[in-house]
Structure formats: C-alpha cells, structure tokens
Amino acid sequence: MRKSIFFLLIIVAFQGLWSAPAKKIVIDINQVKATVNPSMWGVFFEDINFAADGGIYAELIKNRSFEFYKPLMGWKEIKEGESATGKLLIINRGKTHSSNPRILQISFSATKGSYGISNEGFRGIGVRKNELYDFSMLACTSSGSIDSVKIQLVTPENQLIGETTLNRLSSEWKKNEAIIQSNSTESNARLNIRFYGQGVVEVDMVSLFPQKTWKNRKGGLRADLVQLLYDLQPGFIRFPGGCIVEGNDLANRYQWKHTIGPVETRQQNFNLWNDNFKEPFNAPDYFQSYGLGFYEYFLLCKDIGAEPLPILNCGMGCQWKTAELCDTLHLEEYIQDMLDLIEFANGSSTTRWGKIRADMGHPEPFNMKMLGIGNEQWLEQYIERYTIFANVLKQKHPEITLISSSGPSPDDSRFHFAWKVLSDLKADIIDEHYYMSPEWFLSNATRYDSYNRSGPKVFAGEFAAHVANKWELRLEANNWEAAIAEAAFMTGLERNADIVTMASYAPLLANINAWQWFPNCIWFNNLESYGTPNYYVQKMFANNKGTHVVELLQNGSVIAGNDSLYANAVIDKNKRILIVKIVNNSQLQQTLNFQIKGVKSLRKSASTETMISSDLSVSNSVEQPLKISPVRKQLNIDTKNPSFTLGARSFTVLKINYTQ
Ligand code: AHR
C-alpha cells in the first residue's frame, strides 16, 4: 500500500515537472487577416427556461391577469376565521377588452376574519430582508362594504414577513398601489391579498416588483441578471428566440405588436416550451405575459451597448412541431409586421409606429440595423418565403442587413441545400446552429478556414457543446470540458472574422427550478444567479474582441488542434494592444515561445486572464459561482520573444501593449 502511494507521488511529481519542448509561435502584426466586427460576440435571448417571466422580467406574481388556460393557476383561495366565506368567479370581458379579457370577481363575507387569494409566484417568490416591493392591482368594488385590504408576504410555513394595507377601493376601475417591506430573506414566499368586511370586488393585473431592479426602473428587469449581461459586453442581443418566434403553430407565433404599449393591454400567449415535454421538463404554467416586450428588448440593448437583432416569424410554425405554413399568397400581415417593426425601431416620432415608441418613453430611434427572417427554418418552404420577404425588405429598406436560416444542423442535407440556394440569392448573413459534442467543437476549429470568401457571411447564431443528456446532470453539463471546447472552437470563429461576423452561445438564461433545456449560459433561482464556465469563455472573447485579426502561425500553419493547442491573435489598433487567445487542451502544461513581428517595442506591462482546471467535470454553482472563472495576472515583458507556459487544460487571454 505504502509502496503504491510512493510510486503515485513520483508519477505526479514527474508529470508536474515534465512539459513538451517550447513551441515557436510567430505573430505578425502587419499581416492583418480580417477586421473584427465590433458587434461580433453577442447573446441569444429566448424565453425558454423561464428566461422572461420568472426570470429577467422582475414581476413576482405568476398569472397576474388570470389569462392562463386554467385561470386560477398559481392562485389559491384563502380564508381566515370560521365564519369567513366567499367565492371566486372568472369573468370574460372580451367584447370590450380583447387583449386582456379575464378578470377575477371575488364575492365574500368576512366580518370576522378575512377572505382572499394567495399567489405562489414562479416556483415561489424571492424576497430579501429589508428590501421594498411595489404592489399594484387593478380593482373595482361593485357592492358591499369592504373594511380593509391587507397585502401580505408569508413564508411557506405561513409566517408573516411583510404587510401593508391598501387604501379604500373605488367603485371605478383604478390601479391601487402600495409598498411592502420584507423583514426576512425568503426564496419561496407567497403573496396574500386579504379582504375584510363583505362585498364584491373585481381585480386584474395583480403585480409585485422589487424596487431594486436594473436602473431601478419601476416594473423593470432583474438587476443581477442584467448585470451579468452588461459585464459580458455583448455586441448584439438576438431576441426573442428561438422556437418561440415560430410558435407551436402560427396562432402561437410571437407577434411583437402584442408586446408593446401599457402592460395591461399586452395580449398574453402561451409559451411553446410549456407542454412539450414530460416530467420534469413540462411546465404547464409557462406563458408569455409580454411584460418584457419589444420596447423593453430595445431598451435593454441600448442599456448594455448591444445592437438589437430581432428575429420575426416568416409565415412558418415550428418545423419540429406542427410545421404549419402560411400560404405564400397571404403573407402580407407577416411582411407588414417586419416593415412596421423597422418603423417602430427607427422611424421618427411622427410616424405611426415611431409615435408609439415615443409615447412609451423613447422619442429617439433605436437605430436597428439587422433583422432575422424566420428562426430555425429549413428546406424549400423556407426559401420560398425568405425570397418574398427579402425582395420587399431589400427594396424598401436596403439599409437593413437580413439574417437567413440554414436549419437546425451544421452539416446535413438541409444545411447544404440552404447554403447553396441562399448563396445564389446573395443572402447577407446565414445563421448556423450547432448543439454538438465537445469533440465536434474541437475538430471544427478549422471549419471556417476554407469557407468561400465571396459568399454570404456567417452568423453562428446558436451554439453550445453538449456533454451529457441526463437531466439530473443539467447543472453539471455546463462544465469545463464543454467550455474549453467552445473556447477552442471560438479561436477558429475569430480567426475567420472576415466571414463569421457574429456568434452567440445558446440558450442564455435558465431558471434552476423551471427549465426545459440544458446546458445554458447563466443559471438563476429566485434570489441568486451565476455565470457558467461557458459564460466566462464568452466574456473573455467579448471583452477582448480587438479590431483586427493578425497572423499567428506555428511552423507556417494556423494553430487549431496540433498538440491540443488552439490559438488566434487580434490587435486593438486604436489602443495598440496585442491580444492572443490560446487554449491548451492537453493534460500537460506547454510552453510557447512567441516571436512578435511588426512592433517597434513591447511595453513592459502585460496581463493574462486564465481559466484552468485539470478536472474537466468541474462546473460553477449558486454556492460556488466563480469556481471556474478567469484569474488575472500582471506580467512584465522585456523582449519581443517572450515565453509563456500554459497550464494543462487552460484557456488564456494574453494582452501585451506595443508601440509601432
Ligand atoms: O436554443 C434552444 C432551441 O434550439 C431554439 O429555440 C431553437 O432555435 C433551436 O432548435
């Protein structure tokens, strides 16, 4: 036993000391290979995994307007005192309120005790000690005498942790507002609304928001999640998906016009990720309130300095689901939606749709430059429709770059068909999707080296390395094995920045307690959130994008897998910084000796940011959100031929200031 430990120690010590001979890498700053699109590294936002309601949209009440299929889903009746009685009725006012038809009528008698309703939130309501929450509710009383209305936050054990009282309710419909403070931190609270006295009251749009939202906007977005996006410095946000753009069928498609204007007039829709799966993926309570709508998406882009990239339906329901098609003779409504969106985003406030934007609070245009025609569509039926849309849009809005689709796979017959036809049609940018194994990502680091330089550009619009498909391992699937493979692959995207003009990991957000897909970039629960190793890889690329790709060679070839090394170099021409991204996916450390050409001198100060773990299964978690994340070091460099030793299984961004 002792002997074997001794030998093990010798082996470990030997492995630590041993490394392959230094490899000579030549970087020539004068050999510019491509200009990097300033918006190259972006994010793909889809309302999947409760990313919007129950996620970044900070509303804490589920089914706030009773429009779910089951109108009382998320709600329950509550009574206090033996003699309290009452009933709940759902009334449909569709004739006069077509976008938000249902209200809840509460008839009660509670002269001793109280009668009311209680909301469970999105897998609970998350509240923090001493923080303030804005409660609001549309209500009107039609008869009786209501003594008081109490709004309460309670724990799962029914312990009161916050309470406020509403002013007298009016007999006219009115928004009633109150502030409630929580005296405890609780991730699984409920909201109770208790009525005292007797009478009939009708309610709608019951809402609770933290006051601490992103930029403290009322009814705004979750600050921690937007902060993670902000830190990423994404060049663009693609929104609102994903399959939800298409809908299960056309009736369920995402219609941006339903998502703007006052929130109480936005027409809710069920979410296509609602009922497609069996336990534990199913989510019958997954709907789209559209509180996060197109105006909010544009504002988010502006807030975090990202280009807006909306994707709209092109008359095709999800091809994985119903594959329902709008016939090509009747696409006017869909085409008009695209034209009107351009006016909403870019038109002056005197135009019809520009005025709606201005009335919502943003008179200046959002300066949208890109638009996606359909999401993940394929085959002839897509091309037929794409052609009709592209013809109109190119004629009316030649300034807008159009994104087209190559289907769901990176290399099947649908993909090759789309590329052939879209190239003939001179499409601007083609969206490619790859949810593949880490091995695929590693071996595809040269994928774009041989792409046709005179055809359409590429948008790597949805990608993620998938390591495990056991749902129990959903959080572990965002591990270092996947992230380092993505980093290796991304050096190849960056090297080919002349053709790959945009890229985004997918999906972006996932609620730990209500998800349908993994892996994802950022996970969260009702109170916490964290970036995965994959998030930090995206961040290292996006934060260090540079302006131009420059030549980086080993023995005259690009570095894309030899000795498990993957590398690319860019410069920031304005700031005169050389930025080298290198993955060492070997089990051994490796030393690189750089020869840096085209510079007068290197400034002494340099830095590295490194993610490293010899254990590929490591991932982050709520408890250890930074377990694998970049560590920064300052370096002194005094030669044009510096050497660096890369740890085993590491991803490093090396930054060197230079003069020319
Ligand atoms: O990212 C999840 C899904 O993957 C998207 O909704 C769809 O575009 C793709 O199939």
Output the furthest CA–CA distance in the chain (Å, rounded).
88
Share of the chain above pLDDT 70, in %: 96
The CA 243 to ligand 1 mean position distance, Å, reads 6
Could you tell me the pLDDT band of residue 1, with boundaries at 50, 70 and 90? very low
Nearest-CA residue for ligand 1 atom 4 is 242
Task: Please indicate whether residue 55, judged by its CB atom, sits closer than 6 Å to ligand 1.
Answer: no
Residues annotated as part of the active site: 376
Nearest-CA residue for ligand 1 atom 8 is 242
The CA 368 to ligand 1 mean position distance, Å, reads 23
Which pLDDT does position 278 carry in this prediction? 67
* Nearest one of 542, 492, 572 to 234, comparing CA atoms: 542
The CA 241 to ligand 1 mean position distance, Å, reads 7
Atom of ligand 1 nearest to the CA of 375: 8
Answer yes or no: are the C-beta atoms of 50 and 511 closer than 8 Å.
yes
Task: Please indicate whether residue 240, judged by its CB atom, sits closer than 6 Å to ligand 1.
Answer: no
Residue type at position 456: P
Answer yes or no: are the C-beta atoms of 196 and 230 closer than 8 Å.
no
Task: Please indicate whether residue 382, judged by its CB atom, sits closer than 6 Å to ligand 1.
Answer: no
Atom of ligand 1 nearest to the CA of 517: 2
Q: How far is CA 602 from the centre of its chain?
A: 39
Which residues, 6+ apart, have CB-to-CB distance to 135 below 8 Å? 151, 164, 177, 178, 179, 180, 191, 207, 208
Nearest-CA residue for ligand 1 atom 3 is 242
Which pLDDT does position 474 carry in this prediction? 86
Which pLDDT does position 126 carry in this prediction? 98
Nearest-CA residue for ligand 1 atom 7 is 242
Task: Please indicate whether residue 243, judged by its CB atom, sits closer than 6 Å to ligand 1.
Answer: yes
What is the average per-residue pLDDT within 215-239?
A: 98
Could you report the per-residue pLDDT of 84-130, keeping only the tens digit for each? Answer: 999 999 999 989 999 999 999 999 999 999 999 999 999 999 999 99
Q: What is the mean pLDDT of the chain?
A: 95
Element at 335 (helix H, strand E)? helix 332-346
Substitution candidate for ligand 1 out of 316, 376, 516 with most atoms within 8 A of CB: 376
Task: Please indicate whether residue 408, judged by its CB atom, sits closer than 6 Å to ligand 1.
Answer: yes
Task: Please indicate whether residue 241, judged by its CB atom, sits closer than 6 Å to ligand 1.
Answer: yes
Task: Please indicate whether residue 242, judged by its CB atom, sits closer than 6 Å to ligand 1.
Answer: yes
* Nearest one of 409, 585, 346 to 419, comparing CA atoms: 409
* Nearest one of 505, 536, 535 to 611, comparing CA atoms: 536
What is the average per-residue pLDDT within 17-21?
A: 59
Is the pTM here over 0.85, yes or no? yes
